[in-house]
């Protein structure tokens, strides 16, 4: 291992271009040979990568693996850090009791019942997007369909003008993709500042002129006193925007790609749309949009499968590896939309289980069933070898998916 210009060279297969294209052989090897694997991340920090299903569940549920790194910092360091970290004062990077309070503020809007109320609007947006591309006979499924749908929905829920969505795409892409690459740090800084400035303006407008949207409700909680600080207000809004941008797009795209690679299953779903629920769970298991969990740290020394994880050590769960563990799933590398209920970890587990899961499921259900109903001849409009997966450790998603219909 060596370090040049702040970028750390590591010979770990987890950071090779081949891994990016197909991580599953490397995951399989790690599950068998080194399931609790210590590695040097490209950002120069050591981390433990957990690849087996049962260990993944243990880590995600054990409260000794904490999310808030400031737990390890002195008061002064904590203040320094909090000035710069507008995006981290949110539920995903908090532990109880803060986590409960922050999640509680928005939880009501994401219950399955509330989300089901959005079905009509999601259908409308889906059909409008398909109307636009239908005459062309082809599209890049991501740009024309899988990306705009969840963005329009989350922007409407929050009260963010959806015509600004190209800006969000740039900002959230850099935040997610550059997370482990110090060479992109300068660009990341610029984009973060633009994002913060945008949010500041938006919050100022909504303070003056509240609407019936989630941002106005959150501002009200902040103004009422002790339930939400200003920093947390930014944290929650930016988390929802980013989560809404980077995840469901990959669920729809990875799922459709799975169907195009297995045309007999595509036909089966067209013939019997009632199997969509089972199909969605298989999309999530087979190529889950969130490849690795977010960061966790050991609050104390913890023994895991014979390894000692020291206090303060960084730990990440390879969710897409756990979802291909043969100890948990029969024939895990086989794509099978009729598996039915599945205990995959694509939405995580424990107290940080994805808040947006009902929304993501509903959006993907409407998107995929409508797409197949309207364009049953959908097929890949390129050779599979030309398809590339996006860089970055956190997400698993294609760069483009050209289709014809
Ligand atoms: C298919 C789409 C999605 C997938 C696969 C996904 C996956 C995940 C995962 C794995 C976590 C836990 C991360 C960890 O424990 O380290 C998580 C948390 C979270 N997700 Fe999602 N997500 C999706 C869509 C969404 C959407 C659409 C939203 C909201 C607009 C959302 C909001 C959140 C929030 C707020 C958290 C943090 C929950 C907490 O800390 O209590 N997600 N998601």
Q: How many domains does the chain have?
A: 1
Distance CA 27, CA 318 (A): 8
Give me ligand 1 centre to Cα 248, in Å: 10
Kindly list the protein residues whose Cβ atom lies closer than 6 A to any atom of ligand 1: 91-92, 103, 154, 239-240, 243-244, 247-248, 251, 288-290, 293-294, 319, 346-348, 352, 354-356, 359-360
- Measured from the Cα of 351, ligand 1's closest atom is 41
Share of the chain above pLDDT 70, in %: 91
Q: If you average pLDDT over residues 238-248, what whole number do you get?
A: 86
The CATH number given to whatever domain includes residue 79 is 1.10.630.10
Distance CA 14, CA 23 (A): 8
- Measured from the Cα of 60, ligand 1's closest atom is 15
Distance CA 24, CA 18 (A): 10
Give me ligand 1 centre to Cα 290, in Å: 9
Give me ligand 1 centre to Cα 7, in Å: 29
pLDDT value at position 180? 54
**For 96-110, 175-189, 356-370, which range has the lowest pLDDT when averaged over its residues?**
175-189
- Measured from the Cα of 293, ligand 1's closest atom is 16
pLDDT value at position 195? 85
- Measured from the Cα of 289, ligand 1's closest atom is 5
Contact at 8 Å (CB) between 92 and 246? Answer: no
**Residue 2, strand partner residues:** 9
**For 1-5, 178-182, 188-192, which range has the lowest pLDDT when averaged over its residues?**
1-5
Range of the domain at 53: 2-404
Q: If you average pLDDT over residues 145-169, what whole number do you get?
A: 87
The residue whose C-alpha atom lies closest to atom 39 belonging to ligand 1 is: 352
pLDDT in tens, 324-382: 999 999 999 999 999 988 899 999 999 999 999 999 999 999 999 999 999 999 999 99
Q: If you average pLDDT over residues 38-45, what whole number do you get?
A: 86
Distance CA 145, CA 141 (A): 5
* Cis status of the peptide bond prior to 97, with omega within 30 of 0: yes
Report field, pTM of the whole predicted structure over 0.85: yes
pLDDT value at position 80? 61
Contact at 8 Å (CB) between 301 and 309? Answer: yes
Distance CA 241, CA 157 (A): 10
Least Cα distance to 286 among 250, 335, 337 occurs for: 335
Q: Give 391's DSSP letter.
A: P
Q: Three-state DSSP class for 49?
A: strand
Summary count for the chain: helices (H), strands (E): 18, 12
The residue whose C-alpha atom lies closest to atom 3 belonging to ligand 1 is: 247
Instruction: Give the model's confidence band at 177: pLDDT under 50 very low, under 70 low, under 90 confident, else very high.
Output: low
Please report, to the nearest 10 degrees, the dihedral formed by the alpha carbons of residues 102, 351, 323, 56 taken in order.
120
Q: Who's near 357: CB < 8 A, 6+ residues apart? A: 347
């Amino acid at each position: 291992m060596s370090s040049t210009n702040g970028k750390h060279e590591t010979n770990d297969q987890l950071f090779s271009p081949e891994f990016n294209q197909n991580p599953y052989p490397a995951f399989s090897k790690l599950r068998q040979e080194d399931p609790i694997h210590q590695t040097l991340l490209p950002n120069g920090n050591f981390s433990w990568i957990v690849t087996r299903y049962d260990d993944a569940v243990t880590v995600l549920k054990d409260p000794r693996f904490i999310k808030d790194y400031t737990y390890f910092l002195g008061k002064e360091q904590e203040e320094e850090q909090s000035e710069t970290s507008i995006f981290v004062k949110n539920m995903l990077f908090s532990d109880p009791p803060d986590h409960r309070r922050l999640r509680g503020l928005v939880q009501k809007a994401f219950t399955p019942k509330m989300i089901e109320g959005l079905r009509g609007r999601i259908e409308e947006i889906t059909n409008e997007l398909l109307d636009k591309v239908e005459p062309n006979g082809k599209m890049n499924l991501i740009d024309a369909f899988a990306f705009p749908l969840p963005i329009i929905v989350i922007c409407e829920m929050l009260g963010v003008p959806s015509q600004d969505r190209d800006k969000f795409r740039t900002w959230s892409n850099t935040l997610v993709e550059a997370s482990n690459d110090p060479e992109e740090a300068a660009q990341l800084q610029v984009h973060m500042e633009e994002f913060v400035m945008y949010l500041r303006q938006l919050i100022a407008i909504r303070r003056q002129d509240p609407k019936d949207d989630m941002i106005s409700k959150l501002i009200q909680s902040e103004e009422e006193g002790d339930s939400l600080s200003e920093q947390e207000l930014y944290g929650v809004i930016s988390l929802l925007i980013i989560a809404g941008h980077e995840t469901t797009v990959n669920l729809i795209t990875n799922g459709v790609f799975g169907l195009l690679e297995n045309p007999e299953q595509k036909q089966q779903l067209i013939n019997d749309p009632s199997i969509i629920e089972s199909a969605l769970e298989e999309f999530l298991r087979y190529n889950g949009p969130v490849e690795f969990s977010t960061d966790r740290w050991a609050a104390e020394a913890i023994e895991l499968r014979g390894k000692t994880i020291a206090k303060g050590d960084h730990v990440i769960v390879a969710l897409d590896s756990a979802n291909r563990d043969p100890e948990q799933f029969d024939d895990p590398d086989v794509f099978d939309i009729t598996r039915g209920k599945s205990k995959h970890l694509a939405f995580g587990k424990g107290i940080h289980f994805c808040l947006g899961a009902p929304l993501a499921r509903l959006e993907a259900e409407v998107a995929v069933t409508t797409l197949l109903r309207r364009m049953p001849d959908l097929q890949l409009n390129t050779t599979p070898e030309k398809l590339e997966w996006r860089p970055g450790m956190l997400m698993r998603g294609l760069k483009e998916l050209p289709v014809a219909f």
